[in-house]
Amino acid sequence: MAYAAYLRIYVPVSAFHEPDRSRWAAYAASSTRPRRRDSLAVEHAEALRRAITTPWVAVPVRESEHAYVRRVDGTTYVCPWQTRLRCLLAYGQMRSGSGAVLAGERPAGEGSAGEGSAGEALAGEELAADGDPALAALARLEETGAARPHIMASSWTVPLTWFVPFTPAERWLSLGDDRGRAGAAATASATRALVYTTPMTQARRRVARGLAALRHLPARSGDAVLEPSRAVGELAEVGRWLEDFHPYSLVELDYGGLVHLVSDDALCGDQSVAEIRAGIDGAARGECELAVAMYMRARDRWRAFAEFEQAN
């Protein structure tokens, strides 16, 4: 099980242009696609196969044909996996931060065009034009505006800014085996999960309010525990990402594999969204001490999660 959380955008099928609209409509109606409860396991299995392949496959040759599917009030929404794009972005970040992955190595499988709206624009010769085919592919996608992932992932912890678009009432919790409490409409079958979902318009409004509140905090608030400029920058990045998508989309925060790191009581008692919301409310009223206290409560909880990585 991959211990990661996910922030996802589900776009109405009707918002896609052809031929993607028909393709996703047929996919959503298919009885053979991975079910919602199995999708994370399928994604993880695919990643594991790439990791143990010799030579190592850092970036798939073709874009994934799969997506997460939701149906709400008669509308079908999809969140494409975009495995190739996400691997390209992760690979680019890794290379920019640490140079070559291994001396003399290049991602296996590169040099031929991927499939899908992003991959079709790339020819194998174009990918090979640079010294690193994956970086050349990523640069091409960025130039054409196609480097827009529907999924953001965070290993071992949830960034605190990810809680801002949601309210406590939008939580859906299942402890597995038909246990748990639903705070909103169920989004998955009875498996262990904690998920928040909200309309895009609400998510954007809450992020904008959070940004306005944080910008009014004095620098070095609370003995430097909460640094407003950094918090504003990180939340603004989330806001820019949300603006890239259709206004009738849905935004989902999924604790993913992190739900397997804690007890039932800890999962039921997690109030991170409420704490961050209370902190923003306090910042909006100029109550810096309250804002810092709520931030510290959430920060300390998720710092404990992050420490699992060191113990792993």
How far apart CA 95 and CA 59 sit, in angstroms, is 13
Q: Is the peptide bond before 34 cis (omega within 30 degrees of 0)?
A: no
One-letter amino acid of 234: E
Contact 236, 266 (CB under 8 A): no
Q: What is the DSSP string of 156-167?
A: SS--GGGGTT--
How many domains does one find in the chain?
2
One-letter amino acid of 118: A
State whether 8 and 91 are in the same domain: yes
Q: Which residue has the higher pLDDT, 271 or 182?
A: 271
pLDDT at residue 177, rounded to an integer: 67
Give the count of alpha carbons within 13 A of 189, CB side only: 7
pLDDT at residue 270, rounded to an integer: 94
Percent of all residues in the chain with a pLDDT value above 90, rounded to a whole number:
47
Q: How confident is the model at residue 220 (pLDDT cuts 50, 70, 90)?
A: low
Q: 295 lies in which domain range?
A: 156-311
State whether 104 and 213 are in the same domain: no
State whether 168 and 293 are in the same domain: yes
Name 92's Cβ contacts closer than 8 Å, sequence gap at least 6: 134, 135, 138
Q: What is the mean pLDDT of the chain?
A: 79
Indicate the pTM of the whole model: 0.79
Q: Which residue has the higher pLDDT, 167 or 227?
A: 167
Nearest partner of 192 among 262, 100, 249, judged by Cα: 262
Would you say residue 224 lies in a domain? yes
Would you say residue 101 lies in a domain? yes
State whether 46 and 163 are in the same domain: no
pLDDT at residue 227, rounded to an integer: 72
Residues recorded for the chain: 312
Q: End of a domain among 86, 109, 144?
A: 144
pLDDT at residue 85, rounded to an integer: 84
Q: End of a domain among 144, 170, 197?
A: 144
Q: How confident is the model at residue 84 (pLDDT cuts 50, 70, 90)?
A: confident
In what helix (H) or strand (E) does residue 194 lie, and over which residues does it extend? strand 192-199
pLDDT surpassing 80 at residue 184:
no
State whether 11 and 113 are in the same domain: yes
pLDDT digits (tens, 9 = 90+) for 131-182: 566 556 555 655 555 568 999 999 899 999 999 999 999 999 999 765 544 4
State whether 98 and 208 are in the same domain: no
E-strand stretches of 232-306 = 250-254
Q: End of a domain among 97, 120, 144?
A: 144
